[in-house]
């Protein structure tokens, strides 16, 4: 029964082909360092899920942002868990993405024909850092407020266009409700969409080209 | 035992993955359900005895308006509602406390000297809350009272 349903679906959706292409592809004999990309991907999914759950209670307004997060942490059942996973998962994702980049570089896996995989990876790392930067403001506590003040200030040191960049980042000359709202938008819409699209290209290339083997000593 | 021997490496990894995956799914999934349902399952207790002050503060025979506020917390937001009650002391020990909310459409009635007058539809209630004229379907609601250490208290059950 289960087999026939699966067969019916497979005939129309090509599920087995997808499974074979994605999971049964040939890989060289590699080591644990090669799991960092998958680990980063897993953390991304974890961040997406916990992030969606946080938006159930979080309010991106200076009046309520801090109070709503206190409510999540102290009042909602398992709110501390969801927020905790999102908080620590964020740091962990940056660490894993960075380690994944180092592994790729040191094993020379970024070279032909994988340059585009590498380039999308660079933008993925930057977007991940952007997620960390924008998410840091959302609790709207003193730490968040001043970290973002300093962080956006740094952009202001760029010659000529610095002041303009600061204004664009903050939505005005100083940190305000507008800054919180645009950081929130960047954090839950713009950057996740960018990351999802880039992951799509990144994974397509990994599957299409295959992963590189561990370099030999004489190579 | 033969089944275990037939299990190849790939099969073992699959079972292990399914096992660990289920545990992780449960550890994250079950709390997530509680997380979503949490505010819906929280019961706000609003019933309480509210002290109106010393009984001797209230004159015998004339209704006196007593106002107070109650705070309701919904998540991170607090709502403060004001309430008014008329304290009618009948004699040394007997006291009646009426809500000033008209039983028709909840406008606030006020004591004019001879009746409680509702500003909305010209309803009138007598000293003890009975309807004298107008559309209200019931007399003014009366609070349960008690006197503790000379302090008049009412049992308040409304949100």
Distances (CA, A) of A50 to A105, A178, B27: 31, 25, 13
Q: Which residues of A touch B34 (CB under 8 A)?
A: 77-78
Report CA torsion sign: B14, B17, B23, B27.
Answer: negative
Dump pLDDT digits (tens) for A111-148: 999 999 999 999 999 999 999 999 999 999 999 999 99
Domain total in chain B: 2
Q: Are residues B103 and B125 in the same domain?
A: yes
Q: Which two structure tokens, joined as six digits, stand for A56?
A: 């159930």
| Number of Cβ within a 10 Å radius of residue A4 | 8
Position A216 scores a pLDDT of 86
Q: Are residues B11 and B67 in the same domain?
A: no
User: Does residue A98 surpass a pLDDT of 50?
Assistant: yes
Residue B39 contacts A where some CB pair is shorter than 8 Å: yes
Please answer yes or no on whether A67 and B76 come within 8 Å at the CB atom.
yes
Residue A169 to residue A178: CA distance in whole angstroms:
10
Q: Do residues A101 and A66 touch, judged by C-beta distance below 8 A?
A: no
Q: Are residues B58 and B21 in the same domain?
A: no
Percent of the residues in chain B that have a pLDDT greater than 70, as a whole number: 96
Q: Are residues B11 and B57 in the same domain?
A: no
Q: Do residues A70 and A83 touch, judged by C-beta distance below 8 A?
A: no
Q: Do residues B105 and B121 touch, judged by C-beta distance below 8 A?
A: yes
Local confidence band at B43 (pLDDT 50, 70, 90 cut-offs)? confident
Q: Which fold has domain A31-209?
A: Cytochrome Bc1 Complex; Chain C (1.20.810)
Please answer yes or no on whether B38 and A76 come within 8 Å at the CB atom.
yes
For A66-89, letters b (16+ CB in 10 Å) and e give bbbbebbeebbbbbbbbbebbeeb
Q: Are residues B20 and B70 in the same domain?
A: no
Please answer yes or no on whether B35 and A79 come within 8 Å at the CB atom.
yes
Q: Are residues B121 and B95 in the same domain?
A: yes
Query: Can you tell me the ipTM of this complex?
Result: 0.86
Residue A205 to residue A121: CA distance in whole angstroms:
11
Q: Are residues B21 and B64 in the same domain?
A: no
Instruction: Flag the least confident range among A186-195, B73-82, B96-105.
Output: B73-82
pTM of the model: 0.84
Percent of the residues in chain B that have a pLDDT greater than 90, as a whole number: 60
Range of the domain at B137: 48-156
Q: Are residues B75 and B135 in the same domain?
A: yes
Q: Are residues B102 and B37 in the same domain?
A: no
User: Does residue B115 surpass a pLDDT of 70?
Assistant: yes
Residues 6 or more apart from B64 whose CB is under 8 A from it? B58, B86, B87
Q: Which two structure tokens, joined as six digits, stand for A102?
A: 């180092």
Helices A79-106, A115-137: axis angle to 10 degrees equals 150
Q: How far is A87 from chain B (nearest CA, A)?
A: 15
Task: Read off the CATH number of the domain in which B87 is found.
Answer: 2.102.10.10
Q: Are residues B34 and B53 in the same domain?
A: no
Q: Are residues B86 and B27 in the same domain?
A: no
């Amino acid at each position: 029964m289960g087999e026939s349903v699966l067969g019916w679906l497979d005939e129309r959706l090509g599920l087995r082909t997808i499974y074979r292409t994605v999971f049964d592809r040939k890989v060289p004999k590699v080591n644990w360092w090669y799991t960092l990309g998958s680990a980063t991907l897993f953390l991304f999914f974890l961040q997406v899920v916990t992030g969606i759950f946080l938006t159930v209670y979080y309010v991106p307004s200076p009046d309520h942002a801090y109070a709503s997060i206190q409510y999540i942490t102290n009042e909602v059942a398992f709110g501390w868990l969801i927020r905790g996973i999102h908080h620590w998962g964020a740091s962990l994702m940056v660490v894993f993405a960075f380690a994944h980049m180092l592994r790729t570089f040191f094993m020379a896996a970024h070279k032909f024909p994988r340059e585009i995989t590498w380039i999308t990876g660079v933008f993925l790392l930057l977007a991940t850092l952007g997620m960390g930067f924008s998410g840091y403001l959302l609790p709207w506590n003193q730490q968040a407020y001043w970290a973002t003040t300093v962080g956006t200030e740094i952009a202001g040191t760029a010659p000529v266009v610095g002041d303009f960049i600061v204004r664009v980042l903050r939505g005005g000359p100083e940190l305000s409700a507008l800054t919180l709202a645009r950081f929130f938008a960047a954090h839950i819409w713009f950057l996740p969409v960018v990351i999802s699209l880039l992951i799509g290209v990144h994974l397509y290339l990994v599957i299409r080209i295959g992963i590189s083997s561990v370099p030999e000593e004489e190579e | 035992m033969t089944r275990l021997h037939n299990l190849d490496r790939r099969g073992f990894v699959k079972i292990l993955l399914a096992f660990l995956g289920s545990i992780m799914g449960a550890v994250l999934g079950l709390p997530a359900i509680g997380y979503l349902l949490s505010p819906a399952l929280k019961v706000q207790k609003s019933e309480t005895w509210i002290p109106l002050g010393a009984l001797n503060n209230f004159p015998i025979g004339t209704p006196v308006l007593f106002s107070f506020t109650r705070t309701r917390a919904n998540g991170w937001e607090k709502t403060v509602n004001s309430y008014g009650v008329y304290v009618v002391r009948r004699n040394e020990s007997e006291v009646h406390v009426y809500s000033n909310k008209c039983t028709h459409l909840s406008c606030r009635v006020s004591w004019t000297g001879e009746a409680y007058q509702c500003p909305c539809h010209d309803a009138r209630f007598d000293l003890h809350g009975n309807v004298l004229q107008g559309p209200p379907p019931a007399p003014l609601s009366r609070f349960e009272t008690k006197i503790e250490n000379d302090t008049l208290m009412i049992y308040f059950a409304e949100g």
